[in-house]
Structure 1
Amino acid sequence: MIQDCLVEDGVRAQPRRLLTRLNIGLARVSTVIAVVGLLCIVGIVFYEVVGRYVFNRTPTWAESLALVLVLYVTMLGAAVAVRDAGHIGMDSILVLLPAHVQHWFEILIHLLVAGFGVAMACNGWILGMSVANFLIPNLGLPEILRYIPLALSGAMIVLFSVEHTLALLRHEEVEPTWN
Structure 2
Amino acid sequence: MRFMKRPNDFLFRALVVVASLSLAVLSVLVIYSVVMRYVFSDAPDFVEPIALLLVIVIAMFGAALKVREGGHIGLDSLVKKLPPKGQLIATSFQHICLIVFAVMIFFGCLQMVEATAEDRIPIIGLPESLRYCIPVIASVCIAMFSIENLLALFAQKQK
Scaled by the length of structure 2, what TM-score is found? 0.94
Residue matched to 1:46: 31
Given candidates 59, 69, 93, the residue that maps to 2:44 is 59
Q: Quick one: which of 42, 49, 56 aligns to 1:71?
A: 56
How many residue pairs get matched? 157
| In the alignment, structure 1 residue 142 sits paired with structure 2 residue 130 | no
Structure 2 alignment gaps of length 5 or more: none
Shift of 1:55: 1.3
Code of the aligned partner of 1:144: S
Which residue does the alignment assign to 1:83? 68
* 3-state SS, counterpart of residue 133 of structure 1: coil
Gaps of 5+ in 1: 1-15, 173-179
Tell me which residue corresponds to 2:153: 168
The counterpart of 1:120, out of the listed 105, 124, 128, is: 105
Give the Å deviation of 1:92. Answer: 2.0
Runs (4+) off by over 2 Å: 95-100
The letter for the 2-side match of 1:56 is S
Hey, what's the Cα distance between the residues in 2 that align with 1:87 and 1:117?
13
Cα distance in structure 2, aligned partners of 1:134 and 1:126: 14
SS in 1 for 2:156: coil
Higher relative contact order (CA 8 A, sep 6+): 2
Which of 22, 28, 48 is the aligned partner of 1:37? 22
TM-score by length of 1: 0.84
SS in 2 for 1:81: helix
Q: Distance in 1 between matches of 2:18 and 2:71?
A: 18
CA distance in 1, matches of 2:88, 2:4: 22
Find the aligned partners of 1:40 and 1:101 in 2 and give their Cα distance.
44
1:101 and 2:86 are equivalent in the alignment = yes
